[in-house]
Structure 1
Amino acid sequence: MSWSWEYAFGAEEAARTVPRAFLTGVEAKADELVRVAEALYIHGRGHEGADVKGGDVIVPGGMFTYQVVVRRERVFVVQIVYLGF
C-alpha cells in the first residue's frame, strides 16, 4: 500500500461547493502532508500505538482539518472551511 490522501465525512460534499482555486490549494497542502507522513512513518502498516494527532491547515481562502491514520497509510481531509478571503 502506498500513502495517499482522501476526503472523509462531509468534506467530500463540501469540496463540490467551493471554488476550484481554493480546492487546488487544499489538495496541494494535502499532497505535502502525505509526503511528510510517508517520510516519518516508513513502515506505516506495521505502526504500533495511537495514530498521530491531526490538525488545521490555513490555505488562501480558508482552512481545512486533517487526520493521519498511519496503519492505513492515509491522510484524511475531514473538514473544509471556505471563508473567501
Structure 2
Amino acid sequence: MTWSWEYHPDEQHVAAGAPPALLAEVASRADELVRAAEARYLDGTTHQGPGEGLRTIAVADGFFAYFVVPRQQRVYVCQLTSL
C-alpha cells in the first residue's frame, strides 16, 4: 500500500460545482500533504492511536478540510469551500 489522497465520501459529493482553479489548487496541496504524511508516518499501516483530526488549509480561491488516516495511508479531503 502506498500513500495517496482522495475525496471523502467521493468526488461528486465533495467537489461538485467547484471551480476548476480551486480543484487544481486542492489537488496540488493534497499532494503535498501526502508527501508530508508519508515522511511523518514511515509505515502508516503499523501506526497506533488516533490520526491527526480534521484540519483546514486556505488556498487562493477558498479553503478545504481534510484528515489523515495513517493506517490506511490516506489523506481524505472532505469539504471544499469556494470564496
For residue 9 of structure 1, report the CA deviation from its aligned partner.
2.8
TM-score w.r.t. length of structure 2: 0.92
User: Taking structure 1 as reference, are residues 80 and 11 closer, same or farther at Cα in structure 2, changes over 3 Å only?
Assistant: farther
Any residues of structure 2 matched to 1:64-83 within 5 Å, and which? Answer: 64-83=64-83
The answer as to whether partners of 1:2 and 1:73 remain within 8 angstroms in 2 is yes
Cα deviation, 1:8-51, whole Å, max 9, x if unaligned, reads 03764241311111110011000000000000001100111111
For the residues of structure 1 that align with 2:37 and 2:12, how far apart are their CA atoms? Answer: 21
1:17 maps to which residue? Answer: 17
- Name the SS of the counterpart of 2:42 in structure 1: coil
For the residues of structure 1 that align with 2:31 and 2:10, how far apart are their CA atoms? Answer: 20
1:43 maps to which residue? Answer: 43
**In terms of mean alpha carbon deviation, does 5-14 or 52-61 score higher?**
5-14
Consecutive unaligned residues of structure 2, counting only runs of 5 or more, are none
Q: Which amino acid aligns with 2:55?
A: G
For the residues of structure 2 that align with 1:66 and 1:14, how far apart are their CA atoms? Answer: 11
Number of aligned residue pairs: 83
- Name the SS of the counterpart of 1:21 in structure 2: helix
Q: Which amino acid aligns with 1:50?
A: P
Moved over 3 A (4+): none
